[in-house]
Amino acid sequence: MSYPTIKCGVSEIPVVGLGTWQSKPGVVGAAVEKALSSGYKHIDCAHVYQNEAEIGESFAKMFGEGGIKREDIFITSKLWNTFHRADEVEAACDTTLKNLQLDYLDLYLIHWPVGLEPGKGTLFPVDDDKVALMDSKAPSFAETWGAMEKLVEAGKCKNIGLSNFNQAQIEEVLSSAKIKPANLQVESHPHLPNLELLEFCKKNDISFVAYSPLGNPGSAFRREDQVDLLHDEDVLKIAQKHSVSAGQVLIRYQVDKGNVVIPKSVTPSRIEENLNVFGFSLDASDMDTLNNLYKKVGPKGYRTCSVQHWKNSPHYPFASEL
């Protein structure tokens, strides 16, 4: 099965991928195998998800006896916050490559603009008052990005990019970059359409990946007042009109905006359904409805992954929303 791609640096990135955030060990490997056998060509990973070793076992199996070619699959991973110092970046990438049993990544992202203190034996260091410990050396974006560029030069990553950076932070990276960010990955769905950020990325030839496209319905980070997009009456009307599910509408919404979308699931039927979004498209009235849905939940929309435990960082990306 072939399905659309968009330009991502020197590569083409398939517009629908499998997300693996919050996919638990013991089930994530089977989900990846199901996705690859169902025709997915794009798998999104990250060190902090703490499931890359299991995913690596599935890659080894599917790229071996499964008969799937590694070069046909676009694989992303992400540099965690405790590895922002220049002398930490390559080792962090090497750990991911070892865990995933790969020789290279198609895309490696700086996961967050927030740097955390390394060497504390945890991915989430905190002080005695349980406040997040920011990196005491406060490496600049230019320092971290320069080390990311060396990974491309070494052949360990085909493309590099950013995740959860705001526009000003992306501009700062662009100002010193020798290799331009190929991609931005952020939370995006009709309650947080990110239309201005998307327009900025298009102007700067940065591909745009939407995570949590369904609005995080089962997330451990779910807010108590969270509104469920999958049961929104406008989304359900559009789904009925096209004879598809609400989830398929929300995935197709990203595709029709020219974005890449990485819905997460470990349920075999849902994994198949999430890829089956190329038999219909949303019309202008559908898109207008979905683009304005955020107004139901507030003037700035509704972010489910606001990571406010890092708001004491000078690089906290969502300060304008506090």
Q: Compute the distance between CA of residue 217 and CA of residue 123 in angstroms, rounded to an integer.
A: 25
Contact at 8 Å (CB) between 313 and 139?
A: no
Number of Cβ within a 10 Å radius of residue 94: 12
Contact at 8 Å (CB) between 223 and 308?
A: no
Q: Which residues of 118-150 are buried (b: 16+ CB within 10 A; e: fewer)?
A: beeeeeebeeeeeebbbbeeebbbebbbbbbbb
Catalytic residue among 49, 211, 302, 316: 49
14, HSE (Cβ side, Cα atoms, 13 Å): 26
Contact at 8 Å (CB) between 271 and 248?
A: no
Element (H, E) at 211: strand 207-211
Number of helices (H), then strands (E), in the chain: 10, 10
Active-site annotation holds for 49: yes
Question: Which candidate, 76, 124, 69, places its Cα nearest to that of 97?
Answer: 76
Element (H, E) at 107: strand 107-110
Contact at 8 Å (CB) between 287 and 258?
A: no
Contact at 8 Å (CB) between 77 and 160?
A: no
Q: Beta strand pairing status for 11-14 and 5-8?
A: antiparallel
- Residue carrying the six token digits 């089930």: 27
**Can you say how many angstroms the Cα of residue 102 is from the centroid of all Cα atoms in its chain?**
19
Residues noted as catalytic: 49
